Structure formats: structure tokens, C-alpha cells
Amino acid sequence: MRSYEEYEKGLYAMKKNIWIGNEKVGRNDPRIKGGMMIIKETYDKAFDPEFEDLCTATSHITGKKINRFTHIHQNVDDLLKKQRMTRTLCHRVGGCIQRCMGIDALNAVSVVTYECDLALGTIYYQNFLNYMKMFQEKDLAASCASTDAKGDRSKRPSQQENPDAYLRIVETREDGIIVRGAKQCITNTPYVDEIIVVPCRMMFPDDADYCVSFAIPGDWDGIKLLTRPAYHHSPKVPKEFIPKILEIGDAETFIIFDDVFIPNERIFLNGQADPRQVPYAGFLALMFAHYHRHSYCGCKPAISEILASASALVAEYNGIADAKHVQEKISHILGTAELVYAAGESSAYHSEKSSSGTQVPDEILTNAGRRHAGEQIYDEYKILADLAGGIMATLPFMETFLNEEVGEIALKYMQRNPRVKPENIVKCFKGIEALGCSDLGGVTQIAGLHGGGSPQMETIAMMGRYDLKSLKNIAKYLFGIKKNLGRIERQENPVTPRKLLENYGKALTTQQKRQK
């Protein structure tokens, strides 16, 4: 396992290929340091005896102890621990832990490459295993780049006016492929080692060139990272006055693949080489979304708890902690956190083993949890803003409170609950401003809604799996239309990878028929 210092050293050795605004910068740019501070937690805690059981695992490939962020889930316990680790670490960084996307994608790749090899005799699973061994041994961090530029949302990849609106293979060579396109909204890329690329939607036979998956280093030739960092105003005051939350940040990246060569051993899917691989593109898109939504069932409860914690604290500092409406509002946030977490846990308990040995969470429960989280996100921020009052958006800078001329008098007017020191009241509102009224706070809100797929995508995934025909039997029985009702419990997980592929094949055929 690597230490944070080794991770940082690895980043600083990478080529300069990041654009922030009009500047081309390297990994030492201070605007991306906040994101590195988040990833730091994932390295540090793997060596901390208090967190070690959650943050490390045993590799199913080498039998060695590895960081859990490089692990392929082998059983129910792995899924449960991944969720608990995510929740626990998110508390410590005030939001998204940012290292899950890459490993969620690799879990998906493990399932889909195995199925593809089994059906078509390809060697992608072996590529995956070799890659994974290296990934675990070097303890790498990765992005998952799934979301394409996508162009006109009503059109499929091959129907777009711009043929590069979705990432595509422009050439298949003996030693590899050349890809061209862009992936947008990608978290953490400037401060991770690798980019795992997977498709973002179902594909049809005409889309074969777009059915591609691979892994490459973040500074590979032809990769251009157009980065939009979100960071906090760093106050020029002594360290003890700076809330921890101001040290963290995020960077979202628009990745351009400018005719990039991908060597054969790093390819996990290539529809151009064999159009029979086309259905596996959608399968992979779905599987990444699935694992990522399960991770959301760990991070989102933590974000809710951070908001509930800040709401409870500010209510106390405002002197309104005992008001009935305050209790009700906070309980609403906590209720969401617990329900979403329960959905994730339950989906682990109802998970199944795929042919590759990778454990796959229950699809309906995972999507129900993730969708509920996404739909509640703005309500939770509304509660925080409601209980904090307007000053979370209007508080002067931290430096002002330490200014010789106006600092002391300003603190006098910050006094609220007489049992709380005004300095702490200022820190509390600065923290709440960071959570709900900052550049990064804005990103977290949108991530809560769209990250892992918009709520509509979760609805589609859920309803694609739910057997409404058998559900209607309950009403038919109650209304006297049907005489007998068999024993119906919850809809059992129909998402064995094989079944999923079968369903996917059927959906593809139906859509093709409809198009004709």
C-alpha cells in the first residue's frame, strides 16, 4: 500500500496537461490541492489502526493486503464494508470522498469482461486481471470517465451530426486502437493516476465504433484535461482560525481524447473489432452506474448527516435548539440518511455473485436508494439555510474578525447563544457558508442530483427490472378479478449479470423492431 506522500510524488512526476482557464498547469497548481487533501484521507486511514478494518481488504488476485479503494468485491461483507468506509470517510472530509468512481468502474469491468470472454472468446478479462494486479500493487487512484459530450440528447451516437459527440474508435491497429472524443463532468482527474473509460449508454449495431472501454494514465499522450476547480477562499489568518472544511476542494474535468493511442493490453472492449461486442457496451455502462449508485448509498447518508449536524449546531448557537420545528426538520434529514443507507445495506444483503466471482448489489434497492437521495438533496440544503438564517450568505471574511480596528466590535455582534463564544459562532457560520453557499457547496448540490445519473436514469433502471405484471396481481386479487394470489414478497433480485444481459438483449431487439 502507498502512503499519501508517495501518491503525491507520483502526481508531481506527471506531465503538464491540465488547463485551468487560459493557463496550462501541472499537478502542483494550488487550485487542485483541496482535492488531493480529500484523497489523502483514503491513504492515511488505511494505515490507521482505528480505520484499518474498513479501509483495507485482501486482494482476490494476490492474497495481499490492499487499500479497499483498489478492491474487487467478493462477498456481501465487502459490499457492506465499502459502504461503511464511504460513509465514515465522507464525514471526515465534509462531502464526497472522490476515490470511489475508479474502483466502481473496475468492479463493473470485472463483471462485463468475464461475460464477454465467456460468450465471444475475447481476452478482456485477462487484460483486466493484469491491469488490476498492477493497480493494486501500486495502490493507484483513478477517475471513471463515462459521461460523453453526447450532443443532441434525442439521438444515438451514430445519428449525431458530430461523429465525435461520443468517444469512438477511429482506428483499430495490430497493437492497439486510436480513440477520439470527449468525456465531460469527470471528477478528480487532475489528481489521480489513471482514467478508466467506459461507455455511458446502451448501443446499437450502428454504434459499434462507440463501444469501447480501456484504462490509461491521466497524462497519456493526447489527453487534455480542461479543469474547473472548486475551492474555498483561504483566509490569511492564523491556522487555529481556519475551519478544516476550508482546506478541501474538488475539480471537475472535461477530458479531450485527441486521437489517443490505447495499447491492446489496456483495452476492455472494442466494438469495432467485433460488432458482437456491442451489447456489452450498454451492459458496462449500466454496471458502472450500478456500482456507483451503491457507493452513493454510502456517501449520500454522510452528506445528509453533515448537513443535519451543521443544522443542529447552528440551531444551538442561534438559541433555538429546543423549538419543535427544528427537531422536525433535522429528523427529516436524518430519516433520509438512514433510509438511503438501509437501501444500500439491503442491496448488499440481496446481492449475487457474478460468473467472474465479483459480488453484484441488488439493482432495484440500489436505484431506489440513490434516487431517494437525489430527490431530497435540495430539501436538505433548504433546511440548513432555513435554520442558519441569512448570515450564511452575508458574513464578512474571517480576516475582518481579526482586524485591529473592527474585529472586536464585529465579534460583539456575533454573540447569539450566550453560552457559546462568538469566535465559535463565526467559525460555525464560515463552515456553513462553505457547505451551502460556496463554489464547492454548489458543486456538491448538483452532484447530489446528477452524480451517478439523473433521477430519471434511476427510474429507468428500476422500472426496467421491476415486474409490473406480477405486481398487478395484488390489485387483481383484491378487486376480485383474480381468484388466487400466490405468496408475493419483495421482487427478488433479477439482476444476475447473465439475466441482465438477456434482458438487455431483449430490450435491444424490441427497440430495433420499433425503429423499423
Ligand X SMILES: Cc1cc2nc3c(=O)[nH]c(=O)nc-3n(C[C@H](O)[C@H](O)[C@H](O)COP(=O)(O)OP(=O)(O)OC[C@H]3O[C@@H](n4cnc5c(N)ncnc54)[C@H](O)[C@@H]3O)c2cc1C
Query: Is the Cβ of residue 193 or residue 345 nearer to ligand X in the bound state?
Result: 193
Query: Is the Cβ of residue 241 or residue 254 nearer to ligand X in the bound state?
Result: 254
Q: For ligand X, what does the binding mask look like between residues 240 and 259, x meaning CB under 6 A?
A: ------------x-------
For cell 479501509, the residue is 55
Taking CB under 6 A as the rule, does residue 456 contact ligand X? yes
Number of residues interacting with ligand X: please give it, by CB under 6 A.
21
What is the smallest separation between the CB atom of 243 and ligand X, expressed in angstroms?
Answer: 22
Q: Which stretch binds ligand X (CB under 6 A): 254-262, 272-280, 340-348, 445-453?
A: 445-453
Q: CA distances (Å), 144 to each of 108, 176, 213, 374, in order?
A: 11, 21, 11, 20
Q: Quick one: which of 395, 476, 393, 402 has its CA closest to 437?
A: 393
Q: Which stretch binds ligand X (CB under 6 A): 36-44, 240-248, 375-383, 451-459?
A: 451-459
| 262 vs 270: CA distance, rounded Å | 11
Q: Which stretch binds ligand X (CB under 6 A): 31-39, 51-59, 407-415, 449-457?
A: 449-457
What is the smallest separation between the CB atom of 153 and ligand X, expressed in angstroms?
Answer: 4
Burial zone of 119 (CB within 10 Å; 0-12 exposed, 13-18 middle, 19+ buried): middle
Taking CB under 6 A as the rule, does residue 159 contact ligand X? no
Q: Residues 154, 161, 412, 515: which binds ligand X (CB under 6 A)?
A: 154
Q: Which stretch binds ligand X (CB under 6 A): 143-151, 156-164, 360-368, 393-401?
A: 143-151
Q: Which stretch binds ligand X (CB under 6 A): 150-158, 214-222, 239-247, 254-262?
A: 150-158
User: Can you read off the three cell numbers belonging to residue 351?
Assistant: 446481492
Q: CA distances (Å), 111 to each of 208, 244, 488, in order?
A: 20, 39, 30
Angle between helices 100-120 and 124-138 (to 10 degrees): 150
What is the smallest separation between the CB atom of 253 and ligand X, expressed in angstroms?
Answer: 9
Angle formed at CA 499 by CA 495 and CA 504, multiple of 5 degrees: 95
| 483 vs 33: CA distance, rounded Å | 66
Q: Residues 17, 122, 187, 318: which binds ligand X (CB under 6 A)?
A: 187
Q: Do residues 44 and 260 make contact, with C-beta atoms less than 8 angstroms apart?
A: no
Site for ligand X in 76-115 (CB under 6 A): 101
Query: Is the Cβ of residue 138 or residue 450 nearer to ligand X in the bound state?
Result: 450
Query: Is the Cβ of residue 81 or residue 293 nearer to ligand X in the bound state?
Result: 293
Bridge partners for 179 per DSSP: 169, 260
Q: Do residues 32 and 227 make contact, with C-beta atoms less than 8 angstroms apart?
A: yes
| 4 vs 16: CA distance, rounded Å | 21
Sheet strands (E) in 131-281: 142-145, 168-172, 176-187, 194-197, 212-217, 223-230, 250-263, 267-270
Q: Residues 92, 133, 150, 233: which binds ligand X (CB under 6 A)?
A: 150
For cell 462531502, the residue is 95
Q: Which stretch binds ligand X (CB under 6 A): 147-155, 169-177, 399-407, 476-484?
A: 147-155
| 212 vs 418: CA distance, rounded Å | 62
What is the smallest separation between the CB atom of 118 and ligand X, expressed in angstroms?
Answer: 27
Site for ligand X in 405-444 (CB under 6 A): 443
Q: Residues 130, 454, 509, 512: which binds ligand X (CB under 6 A)?
A: 454
Taking CB under 6 A as the rule, does residue 145 contact ligand X? yes
What is the smallest separation between the CB atom of 101 and ligand X, expressed in angstroms?
Answer: 4
Query: Is the Cβ of residue 431 or residue 453 nearer to ligand X in the bound state?
Result: 453
Q: Residues 89, 109, 169, 186: which binds ligand X (CB under 6 A)?
A: 186
Sheet strands (E) in 157-249: 168-172, 176-187, 194-197, 212-217, 223-230
Q: Do residues 196 and 135 make contact, with C-beta atoms less than 8 angstroms apart?
A: no
Q: Residues 11, 79, 90, 144: which binds ligand X (CB under 6 A)?
A: 144
Evaluated on CA atoms 115, 118, 124, 127, the torsion sign reads: positive
Q: Residues 450, 466, 491, 507: which binds ligand X (CB under 6 A)?
A: 450
| 315 vs 385: CA distance, rounded Å | 11
Bridge partners for 303 per DSSP: none
Q: Residues 248, 285, 447, 461: which binds ligand X (CB under 6 A)?
A: 447
What is the smallest separation between the CB atom of 509 and ligand X, expressed in angstroms?
Answer: 20
| 491 vs 307: CA distance, rounded Å | 33
Query: Is the Cβ of residue 220 or residue 296 nearer to ligand X in the bound state?
Result: 296
Point out which residues bind ligand X (CB under 6 A): 101, 143-147, 150, 153-154, 185-187, 252, 443, 446-447, 450-451, 453-454, 456
